[in-house]
Amino acid sequence: MSFGDYMLFIVGAILVNNILLAKFLGNCPFLGVSRRMDTATGMSMAVIFVMTMAGMITWLVQYYVLEPLSIEYLQTIAFILVIAALVQLVEIVMQKSLPALYRALGIFLPLITTNCAVLGVAIINIKEEYNFLDTVIFSFASAVGYSLALILFAGIRERFVLARIPKVFDGTAIGLVTAGFLALAFSGFAGLVGGH
């Protein structure tokens, strides 16, 4: 791919095929941590970090461990274990060497193991037969797209306190409807990279 192709690829992953709003991955933490801006930012940073690392490592595991041994059917188990171990490792390393960052991201790291966006991106990388460079770029761009949607959504959600919301819609229900409109806004980017 040329440089221009890579730019389109990145814009596509961030805006057009936004992993959260168009592919529905990672919705539980999306609704869970988006009530306040600071938790949303913390979660975003943790996701960018872990998703990129996990994308690279699962790619290596797939092509240097699972395929030579022809045990591809163990992909799901292998990937989830790699991600869980990675999250644990990142947590320990960060606690020792980067205590400031650890305090900021601390509580979000264990939550990421069950963030299906991380496993989802790892599986998409393999399914689309991306090479290593594509995998790194796609994982990072997807994570940036996730963060963008999460932070925008938290910004909107913080203003809910000022709004008069019908009682039955209070909480998650209005959150989902708002996410729908955000998804609608994002689908406006579809024409940007030559349709879906």
Partner 1 sequence: MAVVKEFTKGFWDVLPPFRLVLGLCPVLAVTTSAENGAGMGLATTFVLVCSNVLVSLLRKIIPSKVRIAAYIVIIASFVVMVELLMQAYSYPLYQALGIFIPLIVVNCIILGRAEAFAGKNGVAASAADGLGIGLGFTISLFVLGGIREIIGNGTFLGLHVLGTGYEPFTFMVRAPGAFVSLGVMLALINWISARLEARKRRNAS
Q: Which stretch binds partner 1 (CB under 8 A): 20-28, 51-59, 93-101, 129-137?
A: 20-28
Site string for partner 1, 74-113 (x = CB under 8 A): xxxx--xx--x----------------------------x
**C-beta of 7 vs 77, nearer to partner 1:** 77
Q: Which of 2, 3, 68, 166 binds partner 1 (CB under 8 A)?
A: 166
Measured CA to CA, the distance from residue 159 to residue 182 in angstroms comes to 15
Least distance (Å) between residue 40 CB and partner 1: 17
Residue 170 neighbours by CB distance under 10 Å: 11
CB 179 within 8 A of CB 150: no
Residues 6+ apart with CB under 8 A from 34: 40, 150, 153, 154, 157, 175
**C-beta of 104 vs 178, nearer to partner 1:** 178
Tokens of 94: 């960060």
Backbone φ and ψ for 167, nearest 5 degrees, come out as: -60, -40
71 scored as a contact of partner 1 (CB under 8 A): no
Residue 176's Cα: distance from chain center in Å?
A: 18
Least distance (Å) between residue 172 CB and partner 1: 5
Measured CA to CA, the distance from residue 115 to residue 168 in angstroms comes to 28
**C-beta of 95 vs 178, nearer to partner 1:** 178
Residues lying near partner 1 in the complex (CB under 8 A): 21-28, 31, 73-77, 80-81, 84, 113-116, 119-120, 123-124, 127, 166-170, 172-181, 183-184, 187
